[in-house]
Amino acid sequence: MRKQENYSVTFNIENENTQVTTKKSGWDFVYSWLDSLVFAIMLILVVFVLAFRIVGVVGDSMNPTLKSGEWLAIKAINTTINRGDIVIVTQPNDIDEPLVKRVIAIGGDTIDIDFKKGEVKVNNEVIDEPYIADLTNRRGDFTGPVTIPEGYVFVMGDNRNDSLDSRFNSVGLIDERYVLGVAEFRFYPFDTLEIKDNEQK
């Protein structure tokens, strides 16, 4: 009888990991970049719509602080109006356009102007005004002193002798409800974003 032999055969099977590298085309990169760009722009727009508005400066009444053609980012929510703030006024006026002016006096203040000396007094104190182009010599319709009612502000342009502002009956005192917002920074030109009170450009 033939002896039965057992054979043991071992098979070593190596599993090779095959990596398939898919190379992105140039268009895929462009689409990805555009997608990120669109998202960033939308995020910026949402922030600006909720917190800021962009307003253009027209005319020379705020020289030398602001020039015609510049753009301002204004804070349009939770705005407290203080003396010295640059504000955008939408109150109806004879020239039928928004005004960019500086707040000189707020509700409860008494303002007076010595047009011979060119000095502005608020609550009987001459205020320091490093931002003005010239002394305040243009009277307009102003007859002071004037006490500002609560809820109103008195505004003037920094270019005192070439500005239509609260000294004139056509503008008058500004109801705070018509203050669109307070200028926070210069949106354009980009090289001078900060608004400096004594800026000479």
Given the residues 8, 61, 163, 166, select the one marked as catalytic: 61
49: number of Cβ within 10 Å: 10
In sequence order, what DSSP letters do the residues of 44-100 get, joined into one string? HHHHHHHHEEEEE--SSTTTTTS-TT-EEEEE-SSPPP-TT-EEEE-S--TT-S-EE
Active site residue 101: yes
Burial of 67 (0-12, 13-18, 19+ CB in 10 A): middle
User: Does the annotation mark 61 as catalytic?
Assistant: yes
Helices first, then strands: H and E counts in the chain: 1, 11
Q: Is 77 exposed, middle or buried (0-12, 13-18, 19+ CB in 10 A)?
A: exposed
Candidates 101, 117, 196, 201; catalytic one: 101
Tokens of 27: 């268009």
Task: Enumerate the active-site residues.
Answer: 61, 101
